[in-house]
Chain A
Amino acid sequence: MTAVMVAQSILLITGALFFCIGSLGLLRFPDTYSRIHALTKADNLGLGLIVLALILNVDSFALALKLLLIWALVMLASALSGHLVAWQANNLSLAVRQPNESEQQVSSAHE
């Protein structure tokens, strides 16, 4: 178990943990707008940590740059999609709910 492998393990586990937290947020947050926060921010941070873990394993600089490019593109795409979902939710006048309101959610996707 070299130091690199230990560092990789920590990064991978933390990354997976962030993904789990993001999904937990998706399930538990009360309305669409707050769920977007969980999905875009937490998940992308998790992806970044995983990409860092992979980069530690890679020989060529070009390949490392490509992996970072993947992370950058996913962040761009999720920023865009998050904005689009929120924009459409706003157009459909979806309510902003508080955490302790009733659980009668109508997900925006059902329109």
Chain B
Amino acid sequence: MMGVAISMPVILPLLGAIISLLLPARYNNRIAFIFMLGLVVNAAWLLMHFSAQGPYQQVMGGWTLPLGIALRIDALAIIFSMMSCVVASVCGFYARFYLRAKQLKQFWPFFWFLLTALNTIWLSADLFNLYVGLELLTFSAVGLVALGQNKHALAAALRYLFAALLGSMGYLLGIALLYAQFGTLSLSQLSDAFSLTTTSAVALGFMFIGLMMKTAVFPLHTWLPPAHGGSLTPVSALLSALVIKASFYILLRLWMALPFGENAFVIGSLMGTLGGTAIIWGSWMALNQTQLKQIVAYSTLAQIGYFMLIFPLFSYSDPTANQYALHGGVLMLLSHALAKAGMFLAAGNLLICTNKTDLTSLAGLSRYRPLNIFAFGLAGVSIMGLPPSGGFNGKWLLVQSALMQSKWVWLIIILLGSLLSAAYIFKVFSYTYLETKAGDKFEQPSAMLEWSALSLSVLSILLGFFSVWVLDLLTLAEMRMP
């Protein structure tokens, strides 16, 4: 039974892709509903199994390590699986009502392949399998960006493709060197056998740089704003909420599985510096934008910086601070997925209302379209890190960790970043609160679109109340402390 359940997250979306390619378009929505339901049920089953019996690993093909590929369930995998199920369901639902029929028909195969890739990455414990997952993810994302069919979308998709391929090459180079040095591709075997030599250091350097390029960490981020800001709304939501997390997830896995010893401080500080720069610079650029979706895209850049702060806050001497850093980081990842998807969907609704992309055209929306503004605002609360929201809990834990270790630099950066994010969120609101003499000349987006955006934003706030559940999952399993 477990063998079926652990493979379902990969099999179901693949089946969905095949069916959506072959069947006529009118069946796509029903198929989507059934398969997403199946995925959510399966994820819930895996969650229950994990809570009852702890981590589980199975090797595909019935072989043993190091021959086969292992899929494993542990706390991080479960959390990310559930997160991607929920966010992808809502975004797919939004896309069903947002896209034109012809676009929707092309959208579904990409959507299913995207889910296959994401589930592979969350569950896989094998380095090369993660690479294949990243490849599938890249092509799905590029195809989704190119759905826009205009000149800017195509240029953004091509640039994204180049950046992603370069990142994949770096990651592959690292895999080759690690395999030559240690003879295995399995993460669990590698964590036992790993030692930091010249070869493995170079390998990790390539892997980290490649993965950071795919996660759009400063300074390798230039592909992100045109791709996320210039694509269709449900696509932007999927990209910002889920695709970015995948390569960061691999980074986190590598960091936690491989023992670095004393070098962790140097590497962590380096990555933290890049993260801090991303926070400040991303927020500053968001403040200077004039288009709504570009603000949200640059906000993603800034939030990625927060994820990178997990690494310098890892501590070998203080396990509590270590745990706070990890928990804070995971909460930030989770709340960012929910909030950013909600924010993009709400922004898409606002753009439907005004039919223009400029900020100045948002005048009067607070009066006439309060539901969408509310959705945007709730998501903004989580992004800013105001209580009570998932974002606040995440930042609070990170701040605690920094205080415990007296690492003041990161503390200041977190607080500064929060101020700046408040600035650009309030900037958007300052435009919407302006009065317009024209009256209610806005379009009315369909109720489905409005409520799906609102549901995601509300979820990100609810995460603030129910963070305990997530954190309990994390402490349930033995997280490997290097």
Q: Do chains A and B make direct contact within the complex (CB under 8 angstroms)? A: no
